[in-house]
Amino acid sequence: MKHTISVLLQNKPGVLSRVTGLFSGRGFNIESLCVAQTLDPDVSNLTVVSRGDDNVIEQITKQLHKLIDVIKVVDITEKEYVEREMVLIRINAEAHTRAEVLRVIDIFRGKVVDVSAKSYAVEITGSASKIKAVIDILRPIGIKEIVRTGIIAMSRAAKTK
Amino acid sequence: MGKITGSQAIVKCLQEEGVKTIFGYPGGAVLDLYDALMSSDIKNVLVRHEQGAVHAADGFSRVTGEVGVALLTSGPGATNGVTGIATAYMDSIPLVILTGQVPQPLIGNDAFQEVDIVGITRPCTKHNYLVSKLEDLVPTIREAFHIAKTGRPGPVLVDLPKDLVASSLNYPVKTPVQMPSYQPTYVPHPVQIAKACRLIMAAKRPVLYVGGGVILSDANAELTELAQKLNIPVTMTLMGLGAFPGTHELSMGMLGMHGTYTANMAVAECDLLIAVGSRFDDRVTGKLEDFASKSKIIHIDIDPTSISKNVKVDIPIVADCKNALTSMNLWFDKESNFDLSEEAARHKPWFDTISDWTAKHPLSYTDSDTIIKPQYVIEKLLEFTKGEAIITTEVGQNQMWAAQFYKFNQPRHFVTSGGLGTMGYGLPAAIGAQMAFPDKTVIDIAGDGSIQMNIQELATAKQYGCPVKIAILNNSFLGMVRQWQELFYDRRYASTTMDVTPDFVDLAKAFGAVGLRATKKDEVIPVIKEALATDNTVIMDFKIEKEEGVYPMVPAGKATTEMLLV
């Protein structure tokens, strides 16, 4: 099963390679990885998406926590959470498809960020399923290039009663 | 206080940590450090190869419980140490390894003797550092010691660029190490302790399965108290030998691939397995589905990743073994309303079964009147050292025979590379152990293959007057690999015949040590007696039965009840 794990870690040189080395060394898979600084410049947040049965996911979270520079590990899949990914797509936009592309982008609330005579570059943000949907629709029109950020995720706030 | 150099600061920091002996080898990048060491009271043991330095520091740590320290130069000095570091990592031995690094402006330029040792050792250290700011120098070394010895211990490497070590700084006052992201759990959860204890009270066929964690946390007394109080039989892993007296009536000896018949059967038939400071290694469990498949499992370990890694456990207890065992002993004394002696009597049918197993298949071998059997050598070493020697081993048959036939009654007396299985470990480890206890008998039980992997350390032993004794069980084979070839590869002895080996007696003499040889059984005792009476480094070359095997043996991947017996 797919799990999204959110990790807080010390923002120090080499920390990312400790995390990726752990995954490769122990045969865990990484489907997506995203890391950036938090409000505290000494702390980074890392979101990793991995697949495995319960035992594997338990080992992943424990092994991550065992790294000296890791502050907190949360498997947010177990909770209510929001996930987002951004994708930049350069798509064929010849005369006969330009309008169609713009319609699709509009439906998915995307933005055109670069225009040329034969293509558009568009920016789309959303959950993994939305990104998949938009790619599926644009693919027949002709995707020339695609760049994805990887998934970032955040737990939803506890509901007050 | 005025400014001091980085190297002086490092030496001062080592002194603050209580370090008196380090093991190392100098080179361009650590010249400043060696210069500063020369003016200190810290003794540097000059080894002959950096792997030897790390193994010696490791052996020193295993017998003392202190952090072992090795000092290596950059590049090849550091890479030569990697096998030693990985050995310590697999067995959770606390070490601090200081490596020289090229000056910071040269890092990344493929400078002379530059290597990314922090990158190389990342997967085989508990943690490692490249110091990049002068003000971090001393705090980093303090952190390294803290990390090495706390929680599940392990090696920590600190890479020291030459320019930093040569700079001047104000020595920072020692303050407690604060690491919010590193907080090992020492104290067991009382609810888990109570649950575990109730399960123990209910068990009819309990077994204690103890590993190196008990020795690392100095919990042997607490373990013995628990086993005796509740009358529970004990089996030990290779790393756990000595955690419980090997000659005690409750001891079933070692379990696993070359464990005793009794221990493996007991684990298979028990209704409660109490794992303490052990990690369900594949050499212990054999086929996982069949390991302790009839029992509930309690697992005490300070490292949460060890729990339910290979075998799902019913009651996990994350804690220091000593604390957990103390809490359990207290629970039985205060909380339990049972009559402990009556409860213990309930285990009688279980002990009858265990006695039957031992009577049927004791640990044994077929002796000979003339040929030297390796097991006989170990038995005689045990007899003439009264079981009080520190035994180090190489890896392979020599290691398994030592584990089976030398009965360890005290912890920190059996020093062996269990996890990584590093040939060439025993001699440098023996030197480290002897440096810690100059008056103890230290014996490296070796094979003719393994001993050649770090034989150069004989010179180190001589230089520092270490009267270590090396018992080579010489069968002119890489014996354990040969045994696998005999059993599983149609006796095709591919590259396991050691047809050309040095004359070990002459070799000993060349190093200024004493060489003795036994080729017949009746020469064994005189050789051992002479070796033990000699105040010099001694090689005993025992020409043993060439194709003797280690039994019992559980073939890899088989259930531990599927043992090949003698």
B550 domain residue, yes or no:
no
Do the beta carbons of residue B230 and residue B340 sit within 8 Å?
yes
My answer on whether B398 and B351 are in the same domain is: no
Q: Do B388 and B518 sit in the same domain of this protein?
A: yes
Co-location of A71 and A16 in the same domain:
yes
pLDDT score for B18? 97
Q: Which of A14, A62, A69 sits opposite B304 (nearest CB)?
A: A62
Final residue of a domain: which of A78, A112, A130? A78
Nearest-CB residue to A69 (from B123, B181, B309)? B181
Measured CB to CB, residues of chain A less than 8 Å from chain B are: 9-10, 13-14, 17-18, 21, 25, 55, 58-59, 62-63, 65-66, 68-71
Q: Which of chain A's residues have a Cβ under 8 Å away from the Cβ of B127?
A: 68
- The alpha carbon of residue B522 is apart from the nearest alpha carbon of chain A, in Å, by 51
- Residue A27: how many other CB atoms lie within 10 Å: 8
Give the CATH number for residue A111: 3.30.70.1150
Asked if A63 lies within 8 A of B127 by C-beta distance, the reply is no
**Spans in chain B with pLDDT lower than 50:** none
B162 is catalytic: yes
Do B273 and B379 sit in the same domain of this protein? no
Q: Is B113 a catalytic residue?
A: yes
- Are B356 and B426 part of one and the same domain? no
Q: B111 with B204, same domain?
A: no
User: Which residue, among B228, B553, B104, has the nearest Cα to B365 in the 3D structure?
Assistant: B553
Contacts of A58 in chain B (CB under 8 A): 308
Are A8 and A53 members of one domain?
yes
* DSSP per-residue codes, B182-216: -----SPPHHHHHHHHHHHHH-SSEEEEE-HHHHH
One domain, residues A6 and A74: yes
Query: Do A54 and A93 fall within a single domain?
Result: no
Angle value at C-alpha B212, between B206 and B215, nearest 5 degrees: 100
Residue B551 belongs to a domain: no
Structural domain contains residue B184: no
- What's CA B481's distance to the chain center, in Å? 21
How many contacts, defined by CB atoms under 8 Å, are there between A and B?
36
How far apart (Å, rounded) are the C-alpha atoms in residues A148 and B183?
A: 36
Picking from B547, B462, B541, the residue whose alpha carbon sits closest to that of residue B505 is B541
Cβ separation of A68 and B309 shorter than 8 Å? no
What chain B residue is nearest to A22 in terms of C-alpha separation? B123
Residue of chain A minimizing CA distance to B309: A59
* CA atoms of B449 and B91, how far apart (whole Å): 22
Query: Of A31, A56, A78, at which residue does a domain stop?
Result: A78
What is the rounded distance in angstroms from the CA atom of residue B471 to the CA atom of residue B382?
Answer: 12
Which chain A residue has the Cα nearest residue B310? A55
Residue A105 lies in a domain: yes
Asked whether residue A161 is assigned to any structural domain, the reply reads no
| A109 and A53 within one domain | no
Is residue B549, in this structure, part of any structural domain at all? no
Residue A19 lies in a domain: yes
For residue B180, is it within any domain?
no
Set B12, B66, B104, B113: catalytic member = B113
From chain A, pick out residues whose CB is under 8 angstroms from the CB of B182.
68
**Domain end marker among A47, A78, A109:** A78
What's the pLDDT at B339? 78
Q: Are the beta carbons of B180 and A71 separated by less than 8 Å?
A: yes
CB burial of residue B196 (10 Å; 0-12, 13-18, 19+): buried
CA-nearest residue to B182 within chain A is: A68
Considering the domain boundaries, does residue A90 fall inside one?
Answer: yes
Q: Kindly list the residues of chain B whose beta carbon comes within 8 Å of any beta carbon in chain A.
A: 118-119, 122-123, 126-127, 130, 132, 147, 179-182, 303-305, 308-309, 312
In the prediction, which pLDDT does A161 show?
Answer: 60
Instruction: Report the gap between the CA of A79 and the closest CA in chain B (Å).
Output: 22
CB spacing of B308 vs A58 below 8 angstroms = yes
Based on the fold, state whether residues A9 and A26 are members of the same structural domain: yes
Would the CB atoms of B304 and A17 count as touching at under 8 Å? no
In order of B81, B101, B142, B169, the CA distances from B161 in angstroms are 17, 4, 17, 15
Measured in angstroms, the CA of B304 and the nearest CA of chain A are apart by 7
Q: ω into residue B526 within 30 of 0, thus cis?
A: no
Tokens of B496: 């396991």
Q: Do residues B348 and B394 share a domain?
A: no
Q: Do B181 and A68 touch (CB under 8 A)?
A: yes
Q: Which of B112, B135, B204, B529 is catalytic?
A: B112
Do B355 and B379 belong together in one domain?
A: no
**Closest to B305 (Cβ–Cβ): which among A18, A59, A69?**
A59
**With helix as H, strand as E and coil as C, how does B266-334 read?**
HHHHCCEEEEECCCCCHHHHECHHHCCCCCEEEEEECCHHHCCCCCCCCEEEECCHHHHHHHHHHHHHH
- Apex B334 CA angle, B328 and B335, nearest 5: 75
Q: Is B480 an annotated catalytic residue?
A: yes
CATH number where B16 lies: 3.40.50.970
| The predicted structure's pLDDT at residue B1 | 62
Q: Are strands B168-169 and A43-51 parallel, antiparallel or unpaired?
A: unpaired
Q: Give dist(CA B295, CA B273) in Å, integer.
A: 6
Same domain, B273 and B399: no
Q: Are residues B416 and B525 in the same domain?
A: yes
- Is residue B561 domain-resident? no
For residues A56 and A93, state if they share a domain: no
Q: Are residues B140 and B101 in the same domain?
A: yes
Residue B555 counted as domain residue: no
pLDDT, residue B337, reads: 76
Spatial neighbors of B393 by CB under 8 A, at least 6 apart, are B399, B402, B403, B414, B415, B416, B417, B425, B426, B444, B445, B446
Of B361, B360, B396, B358, which Cα lies nearest the Cα of B475? B396
A65 vs B contacts (CB less than 8 Å): 304
Q: Does residue B252 form part of some domain?
A: yes
Calpha distance A93→B291 (Å, rounded):
63
Q: Is residue A116 part of a domain?
A: yes
Q: Least CB-CB distance to B309: which of A14, A59, A69?
A: A59
Token pair belonging to B309 = 């890694």
Q: Which of B126, B149, B162, B322 is catalytic?
A: B162
The model's pLDDT over B210-267, given as tens digits with 9 standing for 90+, comes to 999 999 999 999 999 999 999 999 999 999 999 999 999 999 999 999 999 999 999 9
Same domain, A16 and A30: yes
* Domain membership flag for residue A160: no
What total of structural domains would you count in chain B?
A: 3
Judge if B392 and B302 occupy the same domain.
no
Residues B398, B467, single domain; the answer is yes
Supply the range of the domain harboring residue A114: 84-155
Residues A107 and A52 occupy one common structural domain: no
CATH number at residue A40: 3.30.70.260
- Best mutation target among B147, B181, B309 (most A Cβ atoms within 10 Å) is B181
Q: What pLDDT is stored for residue A159 in this prediction? A: 75
CB contact under 8 A, B305 and A62: yes
> Quick check: B134 and B164 in contact, CB under 8 A?
yes
- Chain A residues whose beta carbon lies within 8 Å of the beta carbon of residue B303: 66
Catalytic residue selected from B8, B17, B23, B50: B50
Distant-in-sequence, close-in-space partners of B272: CB < 8 Å, separation ≥ 6 = B199, B200, B202, B203, B205, B206, B207, B295, B296, B297, B298
Q: Do A17 and B309 touch (CB under 8 A)?
A: no
- What's chain B's length in residues? 566
Q: Is the Cβ pair A70, B181 closer than 8 Å?
A: yes
Point out the residue among A10, A62, A63 whose CB comes nearest to the CB of B181. A10
Q: Do B123 and A21 make contact, defined as CB atoms within 8 angstroms?
A: yes
Same-domain status, A6 and A49: yes
pLDDT averaged per 10 residues in sequence order, chain A, 161 residues:
95 95 95 96 96 95 97 92 96 92 95 95 95 95 95 87 60
Does residue A97 sit within a domain? yes
Q: Which structural domain, as residue segments, surrounds residue B165?
A: 4-169
| Residues B199, B303 contacting (CB under 8 angstroms) | no
Residue among B305, B307, B312 with most chain A CBs within 10 A, to mutate: B305
Q: Token pair of B72, please?
A: 């290596």
Please give the tally of structural domains in chain A. Answer: 2
Residue of A14, A17, A71 with shortest CB distance to B181? A71
CB contact under 8 A, B305 and A63: yes
Residue B288 sits in a domain of what CATH number?
Answer: 3.40.50.1220
Are both A36 and A66 inside the same structural domain? yes
Exposed / middle / buried, residue B210 (Cβ in 10 Å: 0-12, 13-18, 19+): buried
**Quick one: A9 and A70 in the same domain?**
yes
Q: How far is residue B166's CA from residue B272's CA, in Å, rounded to a whole number?
A: 59
